[in-house]
Amino acid sequence: MTLSGKRILLIIGGGIAAYKALDLIRRLRERGVVVRAVMTAAAREFVTTLSVGALSADHVFTDLFDRNDEHDVGHIRLSREADLVVVAPATADLMAKLANGHANDLASTVLIATDKPVLMAPAMNPKMWSHPATRRNRATLQKDGVAFVGPAKGEMAESNEAGEGRMAEPLEIVAAIEALLDSRPKPLAGRKIIVTSGPTHEPIDPVRYIANRSSGKQGHAIAAALARLGADVRLVSGPVGIADPAGVTTLHVETANEMKDEVEKLLPADAAVFAAAVADWRSETSADEKIKKVAGEGPPALQMIENPDILSGVGHHRKRPSLVVGFAAETRDLVRNAEAKLAKKGADFIVANDVSHEGGVMGGDRNRVRIVSKAGVDEWPEMSKDEVATRLAALIAERLKTVVV
């Protein structure tokens, strides 16, 4: 997908992340995109119109009632001349304004006047992001067709707080823009696909949990690749440090039981891909209070019980999707173990990867997989997790072609 020649209207909201908008403009212009910027009054407290204008090589629009601007371009033309409107950073205020139809400055007026798709990259303090008002606004905006990229979890620039609210990185925003402007045929349009990704956290007490090293990169990349092919993707993600993929509805869970409940609520679906590294066991009990060290008593004995197998549950479900894809992370006897899982879990494919492989699949960016099905074993060369995702999405599209919607 090439972005060359595309026109983007970038609305820069007021927040520390506004400095990342400068890099975003650079990245877009490197790709031949024509960027025109609108800055809110708050944005101008963080970066200057001079920097934004220099990078975009265009006039920067700031005022709704600027006679010159209205005479030359006008807010309606400004909102329609682009192929896409991108809001980065999208503040809680800008989200609230659009969700409720306010139009009292240039940015909010352009957003409500446009007939083009809108992509928002939220950035705010984690408390503001998790506030019911912001969550409500986000749900409204999604229903209205606004696309989102991020936010990610991480350290906040302005405080020692960590949590969800950090703006997606400029290259993630570029990828989301590419996905939205991609006009190639969408073989998975009209297909609902469930994807699980990331680890699960199984609590021991309020501060401790059992986890694993899964980063969620592969599962998230698969969700994004399926969305690029037009699928309605529902990603059920365990706790990860990466942004929600663009164009995907992401549900966040902590434990295997929560993941299972969300996945089952999402049935029926056309396909399901189980990329999550679900904890096989959990502590039978989770203490309400932090477990204290008691002198002379030694460490507590954890009584472990098995978690439900989500893949197997769906693979044998009465509402089983037409296509069920599982993963197998093995350190030895890769193909034999994957074949056994195929049968036991009721999957059509198992994407088998050797986790003993050099460089470490878990957390890394590359992967070498084999696709195990009843038809045999297909060995794929080592490639990036994004490439594995793209190929797997194409394979899923191919397999679903013969299934009537």
State the binding site for CTP: 280, 290, 308-311, 327, 341, 345
CA 233 – CA 136 distance, rounded (Å):
21
Query: Binder to ligand CTP among 228, 233, 326, 361 (CB under 6 A)?
Result: 326
Q: Which helix (H) or strand (E) holds 303?
A: none
For residue 402, the minimal CB distance to ligand CTP (Å) is 24
Strands (E), 114-151: 118-122, 147-148
In the stretch 278-317, what mask flags binding to ligand CTP with x, by CB under 6 A? x-x--------------------------x-xxx------
Question: For residue 105, what are the contacts with CB-CB under 8 A and spacing of at least 6?
Answer: 40, 41, 64
**What does R_g of the chain's alpha carbons equal in angstroms?**
23
Selected range binding ligand CTP among 43-51, 153-161, 222-230, 321-329, rule: CB under 6 A: 321-329
Name the residue nearer to ligand CTP (CB basis): 156 or 302: 302
For residue 290, the minimal CB distance to ligand CTP (Å) is 27
Any idea which residue has 């912001």 for tokens?
Answer: 134
Pairing of strands 383-384, 366-367: antiparallel
Q: Which helix (H) or strand (E) holds 79?
A: helix 75-80
Which residues ranging from 183 to 212 are in contact with ligand CTP (CB under 6 A)?
196
Q: Between vectors from CA 232 to CA 226 and to CA 234, what angle results, nearest 5°?
A: 85
Give the active site residue among 137, 212, 257, 367: 212
Query: Binder to ligand CTP among 329, 361, 372, 393 (CB under 6 A)?
Result: 329
Asked whether the beta carbons of 82 and 8 are under 8 A apart, the reply is yes
Q: Which two tokens stand for residue 279?
A: 């904890």
Q: Comparing C-alpha atoms, which of 360, 398, 364 is closest to residue 378?
A: 398
Asked whether the beta carbons of 323 and 269 are under 8 A apart, the reply is no
Q: Which residues pair with 277 in a beta bridge?
A: 199
For residue 231, the minimal CB distance to ligand CTP (Å) is 18
Selected range binding ligand CTP among 15-23, 315-323, 325-333, 381-389, rule: CB under 6 A: 325-333
Check residue 349 for interaction with ligand CTP (CB under 6 A).
no
100 is catalytic: no
For residue 379, the minimal CB distance to ligand CTP (Å) is 18
Q: Comparing C-alpha atoms, which of 367, 212, 356, 209 is closest to residue 278?
A: 212
Name the residue nearer to ligand CTP (CB basis): 177 or 329: 329
For residue 384, the minimal CB distance to ligand CTP (Å) is 20
Check residue 256 for interaction with ligand CTP (CB under 6 A).
yes
Selected range binding ligand CTP among 152-160, 243-251, 272-280, 363-371, rule: CB under 6 A: 272-280
Name the residue nearer to ligand CTP (CB basis): 155 or 333: 333
Q: What is the DSSP letter of 348?
A: S
Query: Binder to ligand CTP among 46, 61, 274, 349 (CB under 6 A)?
Result: 274
Query: Percentage helix, strand, coil, to 5, in the chain?
Result: 35, 25, 40
Contacting residues toward ligand CTP, per CB under 6 A: 196, 256, 274, 276, 278, 280, 307, 309-311, 326-329, 341
- Give the catalytic positions in this structure: 212
